[in-house]
Amino acid sequence: MKATYIEYSETNSFSKTLLAYLAHDEALKPFVGHWPTFDGFEKQLHKKGILATAAFLWNA
């Protein structure tokens, strides 16, 4: 099956703010703790203590 991919901005379904966030727009930097990357998600999970809790539960 052939898939077609289009940019989020081409769908006209998302706000300019969300598109700027996904593009790591520097104008949003004062409002963003971590960018939406795997590294950013990991940092946020550590900050919230979620990974430590999950590891504790898995090892219990």
Between CA 59 and CA 56 the distance in angstroms is: 5
Give the pLDDT score at 54: 60
Between CA 25 and CA 17 the distance in angstroms is: 9
Give the pLDDT score at 44: 84
DSSP character for 53? H
Mean pLDDT of 44-54: 75
Give the pLDDT score at 47: 84
Q: Is the pLDDT of residue 3 over 80?
A: yes
Q: How far is CA 51 from CA 38, 39, 48, 59, in A?
A: 14, 13, 8, 12
Question: pTM for this one?
Answer: 0.63
Q: How confident is the model at residue 33 (pLDDT cuts 50, 70, 90)?
A: confident
